């Protein structure tokens, strides 16, 4: 089954931004929740915090889960949130932090891996392990310039599949040159029920569109069976 997972467009999706407060954690949780309806998902929160031996996370707060104790980071604890959704708080501030290793090991067990990253700088190499990157923009001018540098670095160095998401109804500053697609997926701050976007509101429809951009039709046709998954292109 491990080889089948790698054969049917398995996705390692990183959520990248250059500042906090742009809705990345909420978006990561909603993407993971929706994708888990069709596939086995691991959500990794690199922004989790360590207080002594206790691990705290905004995702846990949203879901009403108490902080838990984690003393061994060579094999960090994975929490099961639902039948198909698993959660790994993995603080980037920890001295034994090695995201590439964790993602590589997770690819043996999960159909989709979604990683909520801390704010990045333009030359950050974190994105090299991703198969797709969702860039988030919160509307600030300075933020926009820094995000452009990060996007251009990613394009030049890694040539990753990319989805551009704005939490405000305005495009990023001069992101797309002439001849490139200038469409952005906007993520309204619509109704939220327990931290999860209602699929019927504007934000829920935006998440559906993001999923379609990242996974194409593969996620929709996930139930076609073993052989369809085995021979579908990666």
Residue 225 lies inside a defined structural domain of this protein = no
Instruction: Give the residue from 181, 180, 62, 40 showing the smallest Cα distance to 109.
Output: 40
pLDDT tens per residue across span 126-143: 888 899 999 999 888 889
pLDDT of residue 166: 87
204 in a structural domain? yes
Q: Which of 91-95, 102-106, 111-115 has the highest mean pLDDT?
A: 111-115
CATH code of the domain covering residue 87: 3.40.50.300
Q: What is the pLDDT of residue 179?
A: 40
Tokens representing residue 137 in the block: 């923009």
Number of domains comprising the chain = 1
| Within-domain flag for 206 | yes
Mean pLDDT of the chain: 77
Q: Is the dihedral of CA 30, 95, 137, 184 positive or negative?
A: negative
Report d(CA 53, CA 204) in Å as an integer: 36
Structure tokens at 22: 């742009």
Has residue 224 been placed in a domain? no
pTM above threshold 0.85: no
Residues 183-215 pLDDT 10s: 678 887 666 667 788 878 888 888 988 998 888
Residue 229 lies in a domain: no
- For residue 122, give its domain range: 2-219
Percent of the chain with pLDDT over 70: 69
Helix (H) or strand (E) holding 85: strand 85-89
């Amino acid at each position: 089954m491990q080889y089948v997972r790698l054969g049917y467009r398995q996705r390692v999706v990183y959520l990248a931004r250059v500042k906090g407060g742009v809705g990345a954690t909420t978006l990561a949780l909603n993407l993971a929740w929706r994708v888990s309806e069709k596939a086995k998902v691991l959500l990794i929160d690199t922004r989790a915090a360590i207080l002594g031996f206790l691990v705290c996370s905004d995702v846990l707060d949203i879901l009403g889960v108490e902080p838990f104790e984690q003393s061994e980071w060579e094999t960090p604890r994975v929490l099961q949130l639902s039948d198909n959704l698993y959660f790994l708080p993995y603080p980037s501030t920890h001295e034994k932090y090695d995201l590439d290793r964790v993602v590589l090991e997770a690819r043996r067990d999960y159909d989709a891996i979604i990683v909520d990253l801390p704010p990045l700088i333009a030359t950050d190499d974190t994105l090299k392990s991703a198969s797709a990157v969702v860039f988030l923009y919160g509307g600030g001018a300075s933020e926009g310039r820094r995000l452009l540098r990060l996007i251009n670095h990613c394009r030049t160095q890694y040539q990753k599949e990319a989805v551009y998401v704005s939490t405000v109804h305005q495009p990023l500053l001069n992101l797309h040159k002439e001849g490139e697609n200038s469409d952005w997926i906007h993520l309204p701050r619509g109704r939220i029920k327990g931290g999860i976007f209602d699929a019927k509101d504007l934000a829920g429809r935006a998440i559906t569109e993001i999923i379609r951009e990242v996974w194409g039709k593969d996620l929709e046709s996930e139930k076609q069976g073993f052989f369809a998954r085995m021979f579908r292109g990666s």
